[in-house]
Amino acid sequence: MTLFCGHYGSGKTNLAVNYALSLRQKGIEVSLADLDIVNPYFRSKDSTAELEAAGVRVIALPFANSSVDLPSLPSSAYSLVQDRSRYAVLDIGGDDRGAYALGRFVPYILEENDFEMLYVVNFYRPLTTTAEEAFEVLREIEGACGLTFTGIVNNSNLGAETTVEIIEKTCGKAQRLCEMTGLPLVAVTAEKSIAGPDMVPVVLQKRPFEN
């Protein structure tokens, strides 16, 4: 099981969708869970058609994308922790508020004790512009869900204006965050067309309003 958590707008959903698809390409049976109870827009569920076409099972809030602003989780979400035959990728809502949704699954996750929980960080987001600020959000998330992170993903970007240089400028901050937490840097990510050799290329989820 891999859980993607982090600050609002850090890129968790994009990474979760990409990661689920990459596992599927390796022939692994995988479920992707959209457990964002915070934000009704720009969610994993938006990519359901693409994911299901690739053979990924999508588990999402029953009211997501229905314009009913109701943060309820489906009973099928328990299959994420109870069905050990499938790999589970969990896309969790932003900040500590979003991480509360994990609470009910934590006993099962700890019992199985075979998970990685990745902290997604974009140092160009205004409330995580420094390692210290990012550290504060990281600890708030851990406090809210009762799990501890196992790694850090540096997903720093400026949207359409991102360049390799813009990403590289954040490497020092990511390094410092790793030192503060004792966690490994699992990946530096970049949009596919600009990704350097040491970066994990990511395909951006389609968003309806971009021109």
- The residues of the shown chain that bind other proteins, judged by CB under 8 A, are 8-9, 40-42, 67, 69, 122, 124-127, 129, 157-161, 207-211
Q: Which residues contact 197 (CB under 8 A, 6 or more apart)?
A: none
User: Shortest distance, CB of residue 109 to other proteins, whole angstroms?
Assistant: 27
Find, among 49, 75, 74, 48, the residue nearest to 62 by Cα: 74
- Do 205 and 13 form a contact (C-beta atoms < 8 A)? yes
User: Shortest distance, CB of residue 129 to other proteins, whole angstroms?
Assistant: 7
Angle between helix 131-145 and 171-181 (nearest 10):
40
Find, among 31, 4, 17, the residue nearest to 207 by Cα: 17
User: Shortest distance, CB of residue 96 to other proteins, whole angstroms?
Assistant: 11
User: Shortest distance, CB of residue 11 to other proteins, whole angstroms?
Assistant: 9
User: Nearer to other proteins by C-beta: 54 or 204?
Assistant: 204
User: Nearer to other proteins by C-beta: 161 or 198?
Assistant: 161
- Do 124 and 158 form a contact (C-beta atoms < 8 A)? yes
User: Nearer to other proteins by C-beta: 126 or 197?
Assistant: 126
Helix (H) or strand (E) holding 187: strand 185-191
User: Nearer to other proteins by C-beta: 28 or 127?
Assistant: 127
User: Nearer to other proteins by C-beta: 109 or 120?
Assistant: 120
Instruction: Give the integer Cα–Cα distance in Å for 45 and 206.
Output: 12
User: Shortest distance, CB of residue 67 to other proteins, whole angstroms?
Assistant: 5
User: Nearer to other proteins by C-beta: 148 or 163?
Assistant: 163
User: Shortest distance, CB of residue 85 to other proteins, whole angstroms?
Assistant: 37
Residue 103, Cα to own-chain centre: how many angstroms?
17
Find, among 37, 34, 36, the residue nearest to 48 by Cα: 34
